[in-house]
Amino acid sequence: MQYSYGMDDSGTPLYLAVAQDMAALIHSGALKPMERVPSVRLLARQRRVSITTAVASLRELEQRGLIEARPKSGYFVARRRPAPEPPAQVELPRRARLAGTQAILKRLADASLTPGIARLGQALPDPALFPEAALRACLARVARRDPTLLGEYPVRMGGSLALREQIARHYAHVGLALPAEELIITNGCMEALTLAMRVVTAPGDTIVVESPSYFGMLQIAESLGVKVIEIPSHPRDGLHIQALRELLSGKAGRDVRAVAITANFSNPNGSCMPVARKRELVKLCGEFDVVLIEDDVYGDLQFDGARPLPCKAFDRDGRVLLCSSFSKSLAPGARLGFIVPGRYRDMLRAAKHMISGATPLLQQEMLADFLQSGRYERHLRRMRRALSQQVMQLSQCVQDAFPEGTRLTQPEGGFVLWVELPSGIDTLALHEDAVRLGLDYVPGALFSASGRYANCLRLNAGYAVTPATETAIRRLGQLFQSRLAPAPRRAPERTR
């Protein structure tokens, strides 16, 4: 539902600003579970807004699951179940190795295309979350404005200057100054990451990855013949900086050429590094002269508060290669990403020219037109609210349906959940059984070069949680429960 009840000084709709303030009171504990919240009329008087705006604010909080209505009694803070335990840290090997994920990924990708399968695997948002009509209008407008976009071969390796200027403007609002002329537009974020790793490593070199790590990063390293060392990542604060320092200080650290991370809402565990830790990481990379490859594809999808800064904001000597795309936040079908190349600009442009040539211009001009219109931030506000609600609802489904002892993350952005099942359940071995039941997920072993996380899985919360979703999660929970060893029965005590 859309509302338009005026804006506050920051451009946020008034009903949403009121809802955010109320949400902060609930999260801080100032308003406790089961406590009554101000009535519509009282809230309108307190905040000096209209009755209509107050109603819209309370409905927004209800949709988020933060308050609940009681007939003839008003609104109350919703009952909050105890927060789930986060997944435990695991022991990781300290030697470099090739990832070896290609064959498994091919099999899982084929399985995800099975007709009618529950959309719980691939990390994709619901197409309904994107402004498709507005994008089509932008596409038609730029095609009319410049009919040569389809007839001329694109030759600019950097890509559309208009799009690069809009990307630079977007990051400037976040607090990061990027020279538009240095950006390189790519075919999605995967090409940006591949180019980055290609220019800073050679076959046989070693990179450091957070663990669990996005399997795409492991896939790229494997294809380039690059070894990886895993460093533990906490589900809340991200990469363990002290463990990285110890590694780089030791013998194994001599072969490390780069660190590859997702600092903002990592895939799969949803971690977001605090600003101080990001600054420390960039400083540490400079101290040991290693490159930092940063995947910021989920950075725009925070649930509350300000958009988090990327590590690139603390780069002073061009060693951080920032990679991202619009595939998760605006237009997956456009397949447009970008890289901020730092000191490697010339090498990256040459590699881009050799691998794929220039990126098609029509889609670039379409996105530039949309971004220039100022609608991106409004779109993001709607998308963030939807994803926040979907993550919360899917989390509740998992807690209700999965075996006792299950742990899961509580991400504050993005749209994936990282789930740890009781030991003894092998999610990779059970994946084919799940597909036969019409269920899909990504087994945890794919997020580790050393095959850790056998009892873990990643779930996609990009789609609305429907009764069909709840049924799918319940059936998945039953499958996992069936593989748990029954508890040993106690022998009856002898009577004397």
Residue with tokens 């009840």: 5
Dihedral pair phi/psi, residue 473, rounded to 5°: -65, -40
| More confident site: 82 or 333 | 333
* Position 366, amino acid: M
**pLDDT, tens digit (0-9, with 9 covering 90-100), for 190-208:** 999 999 999 999 999 999 9
Domains, the chain, in order of start with CATH, read 14-77 (1.10.10.10), 131-375 (3.40.640.10), 378-482 (3.90.1150.10)
Rg (CA), the chain: 24
* Region 116-135 average pLDDT: 90
**pLDDT, tens digit (0-9, with 9 covering 90-100), for 133-156:** 999 999 999 999 998 888 777 777
Q: How far apart are alpha carbons 443 and 479 in whole angstroms?
A: 14
Residue 112 has a pLDDT of 64
Q: How far apart are alpha carbons 156 and 153 in whole angstroms?
A: 9
CA neighbours closer than 13 Å in the CB half-sphere of residue 136: 4
pLDDT band at 1 (very low <50, low <70, confident <90, very high): very low
Yes or no: say if 191 and 220 are a contact pair by the CB < 8 Å rule.
Answer: no
* Region 331-341 average pLDDT: 95
CB atoms within 10 A of CB 14: 22
Cα–Cα distances (Å) from 429 to 211, 265, 442, 444, in that order, read 21, 28, 11, 11
Residue 93 has a pLDDT of 62
- Tally DSSP H helices, then E strands, for the chain: 16, 14
**pLDDT, tens digit (0-9, with 9 covering 90-100), for 205-253:** 999 999 999 999 999 999 999 999 999 999 999 999 999 999 999 988 8
Least confident of 106-115, 423-432, 440-449, 478-487: 106-115
Residue 94 has a pLDDT of 64
